Amino acid sequence: MSAKIKFLIVPYASFITLGFYRGYQEQQFSYKQSLKKFDERLKEYPSLYNINDKPKYYSIDILGSTIFSGFVYSLPIFIPFVFVKELHRLEIYCRDYKDEYDKPSYYELF
């Protein structure tokens, strides 16, 4: 394998790995949001909700989300859209906007 091909494969593979990580983050945020909503409803209507009604955490959801986002990050047609979103996340990280981490738009793929 020539050095030019290796030079192209490494960033592409790392971008796909970043896609897997973003899918995992999105699923974690979704679960935390559903738990927060459940706790609010439990406090508001204690007679309607039981502690056993708590949202479930399924590993298959995480697996599906990570595979889907890795697939999206691997397709060349989606790379411009995803790259812009990654630049937005980088700006949020560099400027240290802590309140942006709690918004669902930060964790969406597009």
Read off the pLDDT of residues 21-44 as tens digits, 9 standing for 90 and up.
999 999 999 999 999 998 898 888
Q: How many domains does the chain have?
A: 1
Give the range among 29-43, 51-65, 79-93 with minimum mean pLDDT: 51-65
pTM of the model: 0.82
Full domain range(s) for residue 54: 3-107
- Give SS3 for 1: coil
Which conformational region is residue 50 in: left (phi greater than 0), alpha (psi within -120 to 50 degrees), or beta? beta
- pLDDT bin (cut points 50, 70, 90) of residue 1 is low
Q: Per-residue pLDDT averaged across 10-18, rounded?
A: 90
* Contact between residue 67 and residue 27 where contact means Cβ atoms under 8 Å apart: no
The 8-class DSSP code of residue 82 comes to H
- Residue 54: what pLDDT? 83
Among the listed residues 71, 65, 107, the one whose alpha carbon sits nearest the alpha carbon of residue 89: 107
